[in-house]
Copies of this chain bind each other. A is one copy, B any other.
Amino acid sequence: MSSNALLKGSLQTIILKLLEENEKMYGYEITQRVKELTAGEFKITEGALYPALHKLEAEGLLSTEIQQVDNRVRKYYSLTRSGKTEVSSKLAELRAFVENMQRIVNPGLKPDFNI
């Protein structure tokens, strides 16, 4: 996804958070939503996204449901119960990461907690 090296490791967090807000989404929709939320700065490639979705499903964090729309197949993903728990955990990790990076790059500055 995109050319930003920092993005490594953040894809699961992004997927889980979007599904926390949207009940169910399909793969292509996720790529578009991320593009639109970040003004095109994050581009999730399908080569990264689909394996990530399959892995989250295999771990029991997501469940799937196929739908036919105009002779096209859509595979909708939703959070399972343990998926919902995992979202909080991933967001806590993200907050900790940002705080710690702030301590390194902004030494002497009070950390903020709005992420």
Residues of A at the B interface (CB closer than 8 Å) are: 4-10, 12-14, 17-18, 21, 34, 37-38, 41-42, 91, 93-94, 96-98, 100-107, 109, 112, 114-115
19 residue pairs A–B, Cβ–Cβ below 8 Å: A5-B9, A6-B13, A6-B93, A7-B9, A7-B97, A8-B9, A13-B101, A14-B104, A17-B104, A21-B107, A34-B104, A37-B100, A37-B103, A38-B103, A98-B101, A101-B115, A105-B115, A106-B115, A112-B112
For A37, the chain B residues whose CB sits under 8 A away are 100, 103-104, 107
- B100 close to A38 (CB less than 8 A): yes
- B100 close to A105 (CB less than 8 A): no
